[in-house]
Structure 1
Amino acid sequence: MGALKYIITVESDTPPKVMLGQSIFGGEVVGLTMEKIPTLVSVAWLVEKYGMTKATIIKRLDGFNQGSDGKFMYDSKTAIAILSQSPKSKRGAKRVN
């Protein structure tokens, strides 16, 4: 069986101190990529990053829209902070009055 590929994601203001060829946790670093996050992000960008539906993202970021009525644009730091939080799990049956 060949070597397996593992992906480690680091979000930081400064680049991590990792070098190509460096041995980390029993494996060798063979590639590094960097993704630039824009200041304003669209719903399509958030759908691709988080795998949620468009309606779910628009609903969760309802008060933070910075675009027009038809174009939903969000501040990237705010959107990532809100969408990275796991939703609170609601357990049990609904209460009947």
Structure 2
Amino acid sequence: MRLPKYVITLECDTPPQVVLGQNIGGGIVKELKEIDVELVTAAQLAKAYNLSVNTVRDKLANINQGTKGKFLYNPNHAHTLLTQKIRRGRPRAN
């Protein structure tokens, strides 16, 4: 007799603390898989971060994974680059 399989999907910033063979909710963990991240367009990122499409393309030019006409980006890398503060000029002297 074959036991049924149940799939739990987690979306989080860090990997979950689950190990193979661990008993969770009466079942035993048999397999752990990380799913590849789908690429997002510059228009989707512009809408999410309230920026113009051209600004997104300029800031993320070095991680573009599409062609010159498609402009596709990994959302995890794009988030870090779009939310970091860029300090310009000389630091203020007190």
TM-score, normalised by the number of residues in structure 2:
0.53
What's the % identity of the aligned pairs?
A: 32
Which aligned segments of 4 or more residues in structure 1 are displaced greater than 3 angstroms?
none
Secondary structure at 1:82 match in 2:
helix
Aligned mates of 1:69, 1:44 — CA distance in 2: 14
Aligned mates of 1:54, 1:90 — CA distance in 2: 26
Deviation at 1:72, TM superposition (A): 0.4
- The one-letter code sitting in structure 1 at the alignment partner of 2:77 is T
Deviation at 1:68, TM superposition (A): 1.1
Cα gap change, 1:13 to 1:47, in 2 (>3 Å): same
Map 1:48-87 onto structure 2 (within 5 A).
48-87=47-86
RMSD: 2.0
1:10-67 deviations in Å (ceiling 9; x for gaps): xx717xxxxxxxxxxxxxxxxxxxxxxx621101110111011111111111111101
Structure 2: runs of 5 or more not aligned: 1-10, 14-36
Deviation at 1:90, TM superposition (A): 3.8
Aligned mates of 1:79, 1:57 — CA distance in 2: 9
- Looking at CA atoms only, which structure, 1 or 2, has the larger radius of gyration? 2
Deviation at 1:89, TM superposition (A): 4.0
Aligned mates of 2:39, 2:87 — CA distance in 1: 27
